[in-house]
Amino acid sequence: MKRRIKIYLILPAAIVIYALVMGVMSYPRYRESGNWSEFALIMGVCLVIAVLLYFILKRKQHIREKFKNLD
């Protein structure tokens, strides 16, 4: 039996990977400017969005499966 990768895992993982890549790319600029609060805020918001998206999509999938099993 094939295991499908759940969409609620793929999208948040993609956002986290994107945030990490952008953080690494922008690190030299923030190191020169010394504006670490902006850097931390942007990275934190991206990670919080990924976590919230994970839980929202997981709940949506659970509700979808619940109604699918009622038929």
For residues 4-9, average pLDDT: 80
Q: What is the pTM (predicted TM-score) of this model? A: 0.78
Please name the helix (run of DSSP H) or strand (run of DSSP E) that holds residue 69, with its range, or none: helix 36-70
| pLDDT for 43 | 92
What is the sign of the dihedral through the CA atoms of 61, 11, 56 and 51? positive
What is the sign of the dihedral through the CA atoms of 25, 26, 28 and 29? positive
Q: Which residue has the higher pLDDT, 51 or 68?
A: 51
| pLDDT for 2 | 63
Q: Could you read off the pLDDT of 17-59 as tens digits, one per residue?
A: 999 999 999 988 888 888 889 889 999 999 999 999 999 999 9
